Amino acid sequence: MSLEVSAKSTPGDPGNRLAGSAGPGFTVNTVAPDLIAKPARSPWSIAYSRFRRSKLALFGMVIITLMTLATLFAGVIAPYGENEIDLFNITAQPSEAHVLGTDELGRDELSRLLFGGRISLFVAVGAALISTLIGIVVGTVSGFYGGWIDTLLMRFVDLMLAFPAIFLLLIMFAMYGSSVLSVVLFLGVFSWMWLARVIRGEFKSLKERDFVEAARSIGVPNGIIIRRHLLPNVMAAIIVSTTLNIAYAMLSEAALSFLGFGVPPETPTWGNMLNTARPYYVTVPILAIAPGLTLTIAVLAISFVGDGMRDALDPRGRS
């Protein structure tokens, strides 16, 4: 007596070609490897592979990584302290002792450039995170609940967009003085409105989709619908907006410091270095070129990364 186990197949079926014997009178048919379905790739895996194909985005990521590491380890890399003075080399031209020269007090320009990057990057990232958090909360509540809540919040957004924030900044700094944290809070509080509008529009569209209606029909709470079904679908817009807000905040900090209303002058930042270099644009141009060029490269690199993320996370561009 023999026992035969085999899948029903037709002649020429790939399964028959790979049929193997498991013993006397016992036959097992296997399925051809090319017929086995491959596991679906996750959206993040697809986005990562598309991001790697963007040469400019990768270039920007490398530049930002190198700048971040250089500023974090400035105490090890910098040849001098951030406020170390060389009285024998005041507003000196680049030399072997001072690669980028010295400022009006004899402080090494390269060292201040590295230490100043810490503050500039901290202000930019901190302000971007604050604005992203506020924008997510306002846009989510407005877009999901709608009605009078949506109307009230959108009118508040319009008010914030029309508010002359620079005059409030001047009054605050004149009364209480400026600090790094006050600049971070100011830039974060007055730069979230566009992200809130984007998230609100996405939520108003997504909440009418079938998967949201299905979740509501089985009694899923609103908090879970927002957290697990809606926010992941707008994560691409959030990431791209945060990245570009970092570049915007970095430029804003530099502009405020250049005008004398940003980070205190004794704290080195790229904007402060541009401000203190104004009397020496002709005699010692490297004092303005070094921080200005560094700021330009940093903003361009962040913009390249933001554009690459936008393209990689766009579901309409996936194959």
Helices 147-162 and 193-206: crossing angle in degrees, nearest 10, is 160
CA-to-CA distance for 291 and 280, rounded, in angstroms? 14
- From residue 260, alpha-carbon distances to 97, 191, 265 in Å are 30, 21, 8
In this predicted structure, what is the pLDDT of residue 126? 92
Structure token digits, residue 193: 């409105």
pLDDT (0 to 100) of residue 17: 45
Strand partners, 102: 108
The pLDDT of residue 10: 47
Q: Give the span between the Cα atoms of 131 and 128, in whole angstroms.
A: 5
Type and span of the H or E element at 22: strand 20-23
Element (H, E) at 60: helix 55-72
Domain boundaries, the chain: 1-38, 43-317
Q: Which residues of the chain have pLDDT under 70?
A: 1-44, 314-319
- Given 1.10.10.60, 1.10.3720.10, 2.40.170.20, 3.30.70.360, which CATH number is that of 43-317? 1.10.3720.10
pLDDT tens for 182-226 read 888 888 888 888 889 989 988 888 888 888 888 888 888 888 888
Cα–Cα distance between 251 and 190 in angstroms, integer? 14
| Reported pTM | 0.77
